[in-house]
Amino acid sequence: MRDAKTVQDFAHLIEETRKKHKVRQQDLADLAGVSCRFLSNLENGKATVELGKVLAVLASLGLEVKLASRDEKIVAHGR
């Protein structure tokens, strides 16, 4: 299991996994039901991609997201 704490971490992990499996961007995009442009933006670290589509790409690669607490205090701003 690898940590992905930034958009760039996710982007690198997705691209690395796709290439490891020798899958072209277009083929992964078709499998995940997203456009090749979306996948390119995702692999390039675009921060405004749609979460549902990201999850579809991850599932197509056999990856999943697991959330874990960092044990940091959550501060409510503006209160």
Q: Show Cβ contacts of residue 31 under 8 Å, excluding neighbours closer than 6 positions.
A: 23, 60
CATH number at residue 67: 1.10.260.40
Contact call for residues 49 and 11 (beta carbons, < 8 A): no
From the CB of residue 3, how many other CB atoms can be counted at a distance below 10 Å?
Answer: 8
Could you give the CA distance from residue 6 to residue 30 in angstroms, rounded to a whole number? 26
Q: Show Cβ contacts of residue 29 under 8 Å, excluding neighbours closer than 6 positions.
A: 35, 36, 38, 39
How many domains does the chain divide into?
1
The model's pLDDT over 19-50, given as tens digits with 9 standing for 90+, comes to: 999 999 999 999 999 999 999 999 999 999 89
| Domain of residue 62, residue span | 1-79
The residue written with tokens 């020798």 in the block is 22
The model's pLDDT over 4-13, given as tens digits with 9 standing for 90+, comes to: 888 999 899 9
Whether the predicted model's global pTM rises above the 0.85 cut: no
